[in-house]
Chain A
């Protein structure tokens, strides 16, 4: 699990960021003392730092310099300061990305993921998911059950990924669409119905026709 260190002084944002990152499968760690972060940094050993600029006792730029002097892990600035000069400074001090408030969850997660992907040499993402005998290979988009297998489109793969991730729970159509959007699949209600139908046909081909259950007003479940 990737560790993300949050250097931010607004309590509320800190709290919600932690929840957001934990939900997205990261381990989020906050610090409360901004005067000397070197010790905290070496203790945590994060894979990425989210860094605010306006902090009590210190500012993000000098913290960035301190971290850069001991490590080259990715640093993403998250700040309310939107002047070009600040952005320029952030990049010249070795920042990897610059996100201005107000940001929302999907944008932040997308940027964090892309920075991690860019700086990562070797991804340790889970390659296959298994649930009720159905195996979903995330890398090759192949879905298999016993000896049968079928290739899924990216969209179908993501839908199934989301359902298996939330197994035994009903996932609403709205949540599914929102999930797909986070992966830049800009789908709407009608298109989703078409995709679910196709996905069901493919599941039928490999002998698990009733794999996805529907409950009116609740959504889908595997």
Chain B
């Protein structure tokens, strides 16, 4: 609050005083009081008025500053009315009570929405977990009775499985932090598992797989890394060209291990490559082919950031797409 604003607020009071002072001045002169005495009375009046206004101004300013400070220190600002004390005149108290009621009703609204959101999230997670049992049954039953029909059922089931996994990771996004464990894992084992998981997809899409130098141990969460690799593999299968080849390669970068997955698929446009990690971004590739969610790489990026793994993507249209994961090595952690 600035002094100018304050004066503007009190303008009626000031004008009223000036009018009264003028009337008194005329009256006093009219009844024959000397000019100097009259001026003295007026000066006294002025001093009283100005001091009153100044004290009022500083008092109000202090009070407002205090309230602002409280507000700024609050994490959830809508709880403001619950935190501050009210001392003021009856009118201020009344305003304050009204504000308090408004905020309280909003707080209730917010917590209802939050609770509903939590419930919904829990339901989705629970539901996704329930689906795992029948999916596992379908997979095992098909594998025990392999023929052309069950092979195509397996392909579709793998898709269900992948979408389900995305749902689970997405539902947990807010609190994934609680659910990972960084430890030393063998890159090769995780890749072998991922390849076996997508075995039927690869074979039926006639993929050639090349693996080079994967016997690295990296510090990460195995489950998350498996999810990330699975998402990248899925993209390579979805956006493949004829005679598809997928190369898995590990490289020692001294203070880090670089792991790359390179395909010879349709690639990503240069204008779009900067946005592939954005949520819901499907790009022209995704639009041409249906069932692209734009969630896979977004989740990958999120999980990588969480674990301190650098994820990069390079591509050239109709040539290749390479996804690189760069893991800081043990020495880095010790430092």
Contacts and interface: CB of A to CB of B under 8 A. Distances in A.
Interface of A: 10, 12-13, 16-17, 19-20, 23, 80-85, 87-88, 100-107, 110, 174-175, 177-178, 181-182, 184, 186, 188-191
Contacts of B146: 175, 178
Contact of B139 (A80, A81, A85, A104): A104
Contact of B196 (A102, A181, A188): A181
A8 to B, nearest CB: 10
A88 B196 CA distance: 24
Contacts of B223: 82, 84, 87, 100
A80 B132 contact: yes
Secondary structure at the A interface, as helix, strand, loop or mixed, is: helix
Interface in B177-215: 179-181, 192-193, 195-197, 199-200, 202-203, 206-209, 211
A206 to B, nearest CB: 30
Interface centre among B133, B161, B221, B223 (most CB of A within 10 A): B133
A84 B209 contact: no
A105 B180 CA distance: 26
A101 B181 contact: no
Contacts of B192: 110, 184
Given A87-B181, A104-B196, 5 more contacts: A13-B137, A81-B129, A110-B193, A174-B203, A188-B209
Interface residues on B, range: 35 or more
Contacts of B144: 16, 19-20, 23, 105
B141 interface: yes
Nearest to B134: A12
Nearest to B211: A186
A190 B136 CA distance: 31
A102 B135 contact: yes
A211 B197 CA distance: 34
B39 to A, nearest CB: 85
B116 to A, nearest CB: 24
A104 B197 contact: yes
A107 B196 contact: yes
B136 A13 contact: yes
B86 interface: no
B136 A181 contact: no
B230 to A, nearest CB: 12
Contacts of A10: 133, 137
B203 A13 contact: no
B206 A189 contact: yes
B143 interface: yes
A10 B181 CA distance: 29
Interface string B31-62: 00000000000000000000000000000000
B243 to A, nearest CB: 9
A110 B208 CA distance: 21
A84 B200 CA distance: 28
